[in-house]
Amino acid sequence: MLAYQIQTDSGIDAIRQIDVPQPEPGVGEVLVGMRAASLNFRDLMITRGGYARNDRCPVIPLSDGAGEVLAVGEGVTRFQTGDRVVNCFFEDWEAGEANETQLKTGRGGGIDGVLAEQVVFSERALLPFPSHLSFEQAATLPCAAVTAWQALVTLGHIQSGDTILTLGTGGVSLFALQFAKLHGANVIITSSSDEKLSRMRQLGADETINYKTTPDWDTAVRQLTNGRGVDNVVELGGPGTLAKSLACAKVSGRISLIGVLTGAEGAVDPMPALYNRITVQGIYVGSRAMFEDMNRAISANKFEPIVDRVFDFVDALDAYRYLKSGSHFGKVVIRIAD
């Protein structure tokens, strides 16, 4: 059976296609023939090592996949052969608050991922996916979509009429835009690309700001909200943008801290959070229960993820390089089998 493996912490070129033993499901486990997998910015970081709780090496990469059940082990009750399934990001986080052990079971880093022809999962780490979605679309959901859902819905308690600010036009931001509009919220988006901002407006963004031509984008956000600020900032930049994000949040608003696209180091003054009663919430994907809630909303609204490009399994490294180029708009997917 073929799979890909990150063999050293030296980047994309350290990923190799290898032969691995045919997996067999044990008690409570399900064997899935993988049909598609999608990439996240996290996957680029893992090729360089040092990602918290996700620094196992060698490791089969990618956390997000969808496929068809090939066989079930003893005691499995949730699935049968032929079911179309999508995996959870964390193998062991089913519901409630996560603990240290559960957070070490992130696919494609803490444990082996889904960039393989077949993968064995615990039955608790799989879900049926909405029937109107293709395997390629379903494979985009486990990381970026659940992350946006937790930020806006589970912890963000989004309400109709809220104003959401999301930074950039990557996968989490796209899902945040789509989920926010499902809930009747207003959305402001920043990017350095006018072309991508134009596409965001076509998808429903209410206001857009080019942070290259408008470096004081926090001031612009305040002006767009008549000085009030936004209810929730989907913060993907990290230390390089956090100070401005704090300036964008309303009194008693929140920052959903998700990414570190500007790097992991830098000083940030915490006083605006104190004086303005801003909640800064760390978002690390989510549980199976959150995924189930999100899937119900996706099914009810016939929601469709944005897929930018699909690569063949043999061209998996080209998919990585394409993601790294930053030229994508929507999710980058690898088709593992037809």
- Consecutive 10-residue averages of pLDDT for the chain (338 residues): 95 95 97 98 91 86 98 98 98 97 95 98 98 98 98 98 96 97 98 96 98 97 98 92 96 92 69 94 97 98 97 98 96 97
**Matching residue, tokens 């690309």:** 193
Residue type, 331: K
Per 3-state DSSP, the chain is made up of helix, strand and coil in percentages (nearest 5) of 30, 25, 40
**In this structure, how many other beta carbons lie within 10 angstroms of the beta carbon of residue 199?**
18
Q: For residue 138, give the nearest of 253, 299, 22, 269 by alpha carbon.
A: 299
Which strands make up the sheet holding 163-167, listed edge to edge?
Answer: 207-210, 186-191, 163-167, 230-235, 249-257, 279-282
**In this structure, how many other beta carbons lie within 10 angstroms of the beta carbon of residue 262?**
15
Question: What is the value of pTM for the model shown?
Answer: 0.96
Contact 61, 43 (CB under 8 A): yes
Q: For residue 12, give the nearest of 46, 54, 52, 51 by alpha carbon.
A: 46
- The pLDDT, as a whole number, for residue 263 is 58
Full set of structural domains in the chain with CATH: 2-143+286-335 (3.90.180.10), 156-282 (3.40.50.720)
- The pLDDT, as a whole number, for residue 264 is 61
Calpha distance 97→99 (Å, rounded) = 7
Calpha distance 191→125 (Å, rounded) = 34
Cis ω on the peptide bond leading into residue 58 (within 30° of 0)? yes
Cβ-Cβ contacts under 8 Å for 174 (sequence gap 6 or more): 144, 203, 305, 306, 330, 331
Calpha distance 285→287 (Å, rounded) = 7
Q: What is residue 14's DSSP assignment? A: G
Token digits for 258? 């998700």
Helices (H), 40-160: 41-46, 100-103, 135-138, 146-149
**Matching residue, tokens 């929140």:** 254
Q: Does an H or E element contain 295, and which?
A: helix 288-301
Calpha distance 91→126 (Å, rounded) = 9
- The pLDDT, as a whole number, for residue 262 is 56
Terminal alpha carbon distance of the chain: 16
Q: Does an H or E element contain 310, and which?
A: strand 307-312
Cβ-Cβ contacts under 8 Å for 22 (sequence gap 6 or more): 1, 118
**In this structure, how many other beta carbons lie within 10 angstroms of the beta carbon of residue 203?**
15
Calpha distance 14→202 (Å, rounded) = 39
